[in-house]
Amino acid sequence: MMSRLTRSLSRNNSWELWLTIGLLLLLPMLLATDYALTIWTRMAIYVILLTGLNFINGMAGMISLAQAGFFGLGAYAAGIAAVRFDVPPVLALVIAPLVVTAAALLVGMMSMRLKEIYFKMATLGAGFVLFLLFGRMVELTGGPNGLVGIPPFSVFGFAFTEPIVKYAFVALLAIIGAIVAHNLLVSRTGRALRAYGASEPAALAAGASPFKLRLLAFGMSGFYAGVAGALEAFDARFISPSTFDFMMAVLLVVALVLSGAGRMIGPILGALLLTGIEVFAADYADYEPLIMGVIFLIAVQLFPRGLAGELAARREDRRERAKREAAAQTEREVVRA
């Protein structure tokens, strides 16, 4: 078990990281109209958000439905700091992840010992409370009408308003985020986290404290959600609660699960999937929910372990079969001899 794990880690993950970076650099070259760039920017924000979710969903093997709420908290923290307190955007981009990390650690501590399904529902509750508060704390958040007047991101008076500049900035952070995530994963802690995700006794045997690991995963996911949220606020320059609702939380989890939770390639595939869905859905106004639901169900039925997971499992099966066949072959040869 452990050996298979380390083997797959050393072999697979770095090309997946390179592919992520490659796609982030390559996609805008494919198409760089203003509209395409807004789409790619959104996709890059999703990459950061999903890389964060991957710590819990993928590594620790727990499903969190709080990520949309954390995403919103990051957006509101940055937006409120910039609009209500005139904090410079650079500083707001630092504040937001710190606020969300703190919130995530709090929720993490509250739900730390819960079993899978109860953990999922606790995160659902946390996400929902955040979503409702965005709409209710009118003085601070602007309420259901949303927060208007968020400035564009700027450094030393240079405002990031050109679509290509915006994309470059978000993509840069997404790449840094992916590299950090990758390095953490191949570190000792990361291996322990994965082992914990795969099986608890393994983690205990390795001498790791599962609760500390889980908390670490949750804190990391919060940090990434905070960065993604702040970027969303400065990109759209307008935020409202509707973006961070329950459906968003579900979509994030589904996108990650379908594309391969726990793998480095998951976030970029998931982000492509999410933006693809958003763009595709716009053409089917009346039937959209129905079509989305059916596609979603078929996908879950086809790939209960995720796309990447499914392919990996198939390869594993093939290898087993080959091994069995080889063994049978030797047996036959032995018999013949």
- Report residue 156 as tokens: 């030393």
Residue 180 or 292 having the CB closest to another protein: 292
SS3 179: helix
Residue 122 or 181 having the CB closest to another protein: 122
First-to-final CA distance of the chain: 35
Least distance (Å) from another protein to the CB of residue 331? 28
Residue 95 or 249 having the CB closest to another protein: 249
Residue 121 or 180 having the CB closest to another protein: 121
Residue 124 or 173 having the CB closest to another protein: 124
Beta-bridged to residue 165, according to DSSP, are none
Query: How big is the CA angle at 241 (ends 251 and 63), to the nearest 5 degrees?
Result: 30
Least distance (Å) from another protein to the CB of residue 147? 10
- Cβ contacts of residue 305 below 8 Å, gap of 6+? 313
Least distance (Å) from another protein to the CB of residue 225? 15
Least distance (Å) from another protein to the CB of residue 142? 9
Distance of CA 223 to CAs 1, 8, 53, Å?
31, 27, 10
Least distance (Å) from another protein to the CB of residue 276? 4
Least distance (Å) from another protein to the CB of residue 132? 5
Residue 191 or 214 having the CB closest to another protein: 214
Of 288, 315, 290, 310, give the one whose Cα is nearest residue 300: 310
Least distance (Å) from another protein to the CB of residue 17? 13
Residue 169 or 235 having the CB closest to another protein: 235
Contact 16, 202 (CB under 8 A): no
- Report residue 23 as tokens: 């796609």
Least distance (Å) from another protein to the CB of residue 156? 23
Residue 2 or 294 having the CB closest to another protein: 294
In angstroms, rounded to a whole number, what is the distance separating the alpha carbons of residues 114 and 124? 13
In angstroms, rounded to a whole number, what is the distance separating the alpha carbons of residues 168 and 113? 40
SS3 for 181-238 is HHHHHHCHHHHHHHHHHHCHHHHHHCCCCHHHHHHHHHHHHHHHHHHHHHHHHHHHCC
Q: Which helix (H) or strand (E) holds 31?
A: none
